[in-house]
Amino acid sequence: MTDLPALTELLDSARIVALPMHTRFRGVDVREALLFEGPEGWAEFSPFPEYADAEAATWLSAGIADAWHPRPAAVREGIRVNATVPAVSAERVASVLARFDGCRTAKVKVAEAGQSLADDIARVRAVRDEMGPEGRIRIDANAGWNVDEAERAIHALATFDLEYAEQPCASIDELVELRDRIAYLDIPIAADESVRRAGDPFAVARAGAADLLVIKAQPLGGIERALRIVAEAGLPVVVSSALDTAVGLSLGAALATALPVLDHDCGLGTASLFADDVADARPRNGIVSADRVVPDPVALARLEASAERRDWWIERLTRCHALLAADGR
């Protein structure tokens, strides 16, 4: 990134928020984020706490680009999004889906640590029952299975007419083998972690390890870099959330509106997983807007993180900014 703003420019407007969630998701009950304002508007820096600084710095570059540079021109307006169903019991599925107004697609978390395939089957069955035969169901294992487990699970879940299976296994070699094994089921494989956390985001496409890519604006370093990856990979894509606040979700939606081709509902409806947010970014009739979000000052005050967490995030921001400066980004 050229013209990296001074650290003081970020610190002047930095607000650290802690958003409570309706249901534990991805091991998170409260989602923390650092928000800051630049010449183009508000942006977000929210790599997960366990991520090392080198990886987190890429998320910061995305936020800076969004706050200091105009977004690309949109080629479409509102974005259709999927509902996201955490690894809840089957009895809770209906209440989760009810928070996603008008969504025709659901992404269902599976392969949760401490749960069984029977739990996954019950959850996916409950989603199918709620959505009816017209609904689209995709599953996301977050690399939780080995190849044998993935083959067995996808075979068992195929009866529910899956749109695709997202990141069933961790490695590219495993995805290649699994794709070959389940070819007879005609269920596409989507890659997420193998793209956004990979040193080489194109390796998945070169290896023939996936049928489509799940891309996320923050982890990939922003809209422009994400668009370059999509163009070079040559695979269909789904734009998804990194469990962003309303501010970060608007960045993902802007990426989705800029893509030349977008044939799948996107995973940008995750505001419905939060019990509170800095602005209302929940889907309406299955659609979210790509308009820039201005946080509500009252919500910023209400959701302000503790002094201890503020210090932690400011120190992290400082370290990541130094990495960007040293790298010339």
What residues act catalytically?
109, 216
CB 273 within 8 A of CB 243: yes
Q: Known binder of ligand: residue 192?
A: yes
3-state secondary structure the chain: CCCCCCHHHHHCCCEEEEEEEEEEECCEEEEEEEEEEECCEEEEECCCCCCCHHHHHHHHHHHHHHHHCCCCCCCCCCEEECEEECCCCHHHHHHHHCCCCCCCEEEEECCCCCCCHHHHHHHHHHHHHHHCCCCEEEEECCCCCCHHHHHHHHHHHHHHCEEEEECCCCCHHHHHHHHHHCHHHCCCEEECHHHHCCCCCCHHHHHCCCCEEEECCCCCCCHHHHHHHHHHHCCCEEEECCCCCHHHHHHHHHHHHHCCCCCCCEECCHHHHECCCCCCCCCECCEECCCCCCCCHHHHHHCECCHHHHHHHHHHHHHHHHHHHHHCC
Q: Known binder of ligand: residue 91?
A: no
Structure tokens at 307: 């002094």
Distances (CA, A) of 281 to 7, 190, 248, 272: 29, 25, 10, 8
Q: Known binder of ligand: residue 140?
A: yes
Contacts of 284 (CB under 8 A, 6+ apart): 101, 102
Structure tokens at 73: 């021109």
**Cα distance between residue 243 and residue 48, in whole Å:** 9
CB 138 within 8 A of CB 162: yes
**Residues of each annotated binding site:** 140, 166, 192
**Residues of each annotated binding site for Mg(2+):** 140, 166, 192
